[in-house]
Chains A and B, each alone.
Chain A
Amino acid sequence: QKEVEQDPGPLSVPEGAIVSLNCTYSNSAFQYFMWYRQYSRKGPELLMYTYSSGNKEDGRFTAQVDKSSKYISLFIRDSQPSDSATYLCAMSADYGQNFVFGPGTRLSVLP
């Protein structure tokens, strides 16, 4: 079993749809959780960062962490064609220690 698993996609949705992206993990020590967006041939860009369990909202983006289920989600409301990218989840157990990334989900938002 991989340490972090993520739906590979690709995922295609119409503009304006609500998108749900998910990751599961096996290491119960993870407590720092991040979502990155990566456009083609570019470096990842940090979207959301959460510590421990709970929800965090930033504009159209909401990140959820359920440590009891070892499951994190990123919701995108009112999706736009500019949201078309690969979304990577990442997590870390210790301050400054290894960040483990999921393989990414490719999202296409169709106009």
Chain B
Amino acid sequence: EAGVTQSPTHLIKTRGQQATLRCSPISGHTSVYWYQQALGLGLQFLLWYDEGEERNRGNFPPRFSGRQFPNYSSELNVNALELEDSALYLCASRSRDEQFFGPGTRLTVL
């Protein structure tokens, strides 16, 4: 069974640009979670999608947004990038009460 996949692996942008990150959940999983993990910090919850709907969002500004497609894959968009947005962005899909993480996208904002 394939795990959670994320693309791209690395992304380099400049301040003010937009970034789009993609995630494909494990087959059969309908819930997708997005987290930000900045260097030296824990995982910060960003967004939760289930069955195509945004179910909850963490304490992040509106320039962090996303969507979930009919095939349950998901996209995270970050607009007006700031230097402090540099982090590892992790996607997870859920089976019952367990989350399974992808390898992450490392976003660097210059």
Contacts and interface: CB of A to CB of B under 8 A. Distances in A.
A binds B: yes
A73 interface: no
B42 A88 contact: yes
Q: Classify chain A: how many residues form its interface, as a range.
A: 20 to 34
B97 A51 contact: yes
Contacts of A46: 98-101
Interface stretch (B12-20, B70-78, B79-87, B102-110): B102-110
B48 A43 contact: no
Interface stretch (A60-68, A77-85, A89-97): A89-97
| Majority SS at the chain B contact face | strand
Given A42-B103, A43-B103, A43-B104, A98 B42 contact: no
Interface string B40-73: 0111010010100001101000000000000000
Contact of A44 (B50, B96, B101): B101
| Majority SS at the chain A contact face | strand
B66 to A, nearest CB: 16
Interface of A: 32, 34, 36, 41-46, 49, 51, 88, 90, 92, 95-104
Interface of B: 4, 31, 33, 35, 41-43, 45, 48, 50, 55-56, 58, 88, 90, 94, 96-104, 106
